[in-house]
């Protein structure tokens, strides 16, 4: 029992370090406070490998320690709460999906969710000519949505990402079909866990706390979060899949 706790604490420390690098170093800054980061993938890995308690600790620690090391904007506990919940959600979804995997076509829900996000982004672009993007620090930028780049090129890119996701999943299924399941889950189920967790925390919670805290209208915020999500999600899914596969291959050595 004591060895198991020590092992989980050691792994949690490793996930915190990885999460800090992915969240604060290997990220794409957009303005003063916005960024496209990948630290949540380490939190999802922690939740699936060391469980919900340590997953929540990893999530909260990545935010608090990251802010202390490299503060961006003003600290808000809403982000810490969201990342702590993200440390629990994948574990809960894993419990559900062990049974849900037996239902044929359950993964079509993933395509539906991504299709809905794609449709929302395209609707937002065509429903207005401009919107104001919050750069942080009291700075704002007016984005012209009527240009050909935004009206035609961006929807094509987003659609290509959508179908690229479908192709990637089919390739992953073929690659892992003859191998042992990762954490008793198929590659599709792991991607589903990442997708649902990111939608609930990065998009829905990410918008809601900003509405409460900053008083910003949610429509434009949803567009921002969806745009960031489209770019980051495939990378996060691959990080989680690779991390779980690596852990599985070295699990005996780590125990």
**Residue 138: its pLDDT value, please?**
65
Tokens of 97: 């999906």
**Residue 211: its pLDDT value, please?**
87
Domain count, the chain: 1
Count of beta carbons in the 10 Å neighbourhood of residue 220: 17
Q: What's the whole-model pTM score?
A: 0.89
Highest mean pLDDT among 30-39, 87-96, 110-119: 87-96
Q: Are strands 28-30 and 139-144 parallel, antiparallel or unpaired?
A: unpaired
Range of the domain at 225: 2-254
Q: What is the CATH number of the domain that holds 108?
A: 1.10.1760.20
Predicted confidence (pLDDT) per residue in 195-248, tens digit: 999 999 999 999 998 888 877 778 878 888 888 888 888 889 889 988 988 888
Nearest alpha-carbon partner for 37 in 60, 14, 63: 63
């Amino acid at each position: 029992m004591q060895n198991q706790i020590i092992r989980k604490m050691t792994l949690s420390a490793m996930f915190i370090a990885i999460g800090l690098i992915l969240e604060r170093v290997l990220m794409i800054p957009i303005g003063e406070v916005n960024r496209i980061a990948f630290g949540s993938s380490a939190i999802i890995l922690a939740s699936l490998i060391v469980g919900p308690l340590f997953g929540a600790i990893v999530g909260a620690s990545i935010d608090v320690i990251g802010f202390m090391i490299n503060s961006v904007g003003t600290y808000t506990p809403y982000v810490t709460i969201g990342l702590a919940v993200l440390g629990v959600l994948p574990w809960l979804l894993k419990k559900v999906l062990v049974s849900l995997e037996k239902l044929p076509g359950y993964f079509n829900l993933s395509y539906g969710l991504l299709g809905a996000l794609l449709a929302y982004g395209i609707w937002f672009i065509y429903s207005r000519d401009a919107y104001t993007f919050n750069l942080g620090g009291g700075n704002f930028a007016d984005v012209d949505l009527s240009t050909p780049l935004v009206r035609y090129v961006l929807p094509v890119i987003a659609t290509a990402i959508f179908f690229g996701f479908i192709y990637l999943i089919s390739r992953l299924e073929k690659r892992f079909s003859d191998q042992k399941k990762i954490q008793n889950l198929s590659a599709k189920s792991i991607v589903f866990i990442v997708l649902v967790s990111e939608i609930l925390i990065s998009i829905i919670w990410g918008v809601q706390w900003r509405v409460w805290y900053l008083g910003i209208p949610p429509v434009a915020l949803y567009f921002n979060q969806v745009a960031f999500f489209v770019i980051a999600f495939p990378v996060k899914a691959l990080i989680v899949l690779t991390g779980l596969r690596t852990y599985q291959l070295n699990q005996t050595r780590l125990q």
